[in-house]
Amino acid sequence: MKIRGAIAAGLASAGILVAGWQAGTQVGGIGTVATSTTATGTTGASGTGTSGSGASGSGASGTAGSTGTGSAGSTGSTGSTGSTASGTYKGTAVQTRFGPVQVQITVANGKITDVTALQLTNTDRKSIQISNRAAPLLRSKVLAAQSADVQTVSGATITSDAYLTSLQAAIDAAHL
């Protein structure tokens, strides 16, 4: 049981790191699906990232090195008029011991209009049954709250936590 716990903790940590990494690349304007967002960026051969904010938006960036001998820095800024992001955004696939969970959100005028489960736990008949019960409940809670800050579904804690983690990554990608 201790080994399973350690593996689960390691996978959860890796999932959070991946979600943060993907959210960080979205802030820099890389791969954003939003239709009302403008993105600009510059890259230096060996610099560090900077962040700042202005009246029309905010900028963020990071640093990356392949072997620790050099780094490439990038700065970018995104700006939009208010919270009018629109488009479809996928969350990261979160691995659980019962299978992967991934959600996608549809955003119109800065509001979440739909949440679609792209993948749900599926390792056995019971996990499929739990997912089929939990997904519509989580969807309605998220649409009402317009955030990932909702209660988990009783009896479906692992599925709920993975669903909400993937959802938060999609919300971060949409800059909501």
pLDDT tens, position by position, for the chain (176 residues)?
A: 566 665 666 666 655 655 554 545 444 333 333 333 333 333 333 333 333 333 333 333 333 333 343 433 333 334 444 456 799 999 999 999 999 999 999 999 999 999 999 999 999 999 999 999 999 999 999 999 999 999 999 999 999 999 999 999 999 999 99
Residues 53 and 115 in one domain: no
pLDDT at 85: 76
The single-letter code of the amino acid at 51 is: S
Instruction: Report if residue 33 sits inside a domain.
Output: no
- Flag whether the pTM goes above 0.75: no
The single-letter code of the amino acid at 149 is: D
Residues 143 and 93 in one domain: yes
For residue 6, give both structure tokens.
């350690």
pLDDT at 110: 92
Answer positive or negative: Cα dihedral of 136, 122, 166, 105: negative
- Contact by Cβ (8 Å): 169, 162: no
Identify the CA nearest to 134 among candidates 147, 115, 108.
115
Residues 23 and 42 in one domain: no
Residues 152 and 98 in one domain: yes
Alpha-carbon distance 105 to 169, whole Å?
10
pLDDT at 151: 96
CATH of the domain at 23: 3.90.1010.20
Residues 123 and 61 in one domain: no
Domain count, the chain: 2
Instruction: Report if residue 169 sits inside a domain.
Output: yes
Residues 24 and 59 in one domain: no
Identify the CA nearest to 127 among candidates 149, 103, 152, 157.
157
Residue 114 zone, left/alpha/beta (φ > 0; ψ -120 to 50; rest): beta
Residues 105 and 20 in one domain: yes
Instruction: Report if residue 146 sits inside a domain.
Output: yes
Residues 103 and 68 in one domain: no
Pairing of strands 99-108, 111-119: antiparallel
For residue 18, give both structure tokens.
């991946």
Instruction: Report if residue 112 sits inside a domain.
Output: yes
Alpha-carbon distance 25 to 161, whole Å?
23
Residues 113 and 92 in one domain: yes
- Residues with Cβ < 8 Å from 168, sequence gap 6 or more? 19, 91, 148
pLDDT at 32: 34
Residues 100 and 75 in one domain: no
Residues 118 and 168 in one domain: yes
Domain residue limits at 66: 38-79
Cα-based distances in Å from 78 to 87, 131, 174: 16, 36, 12
Residues 17 and 44 in one domain: no
SS3 of residue 39 by DSSP = strand
The single-letter code of the amino acid at 19 is: A
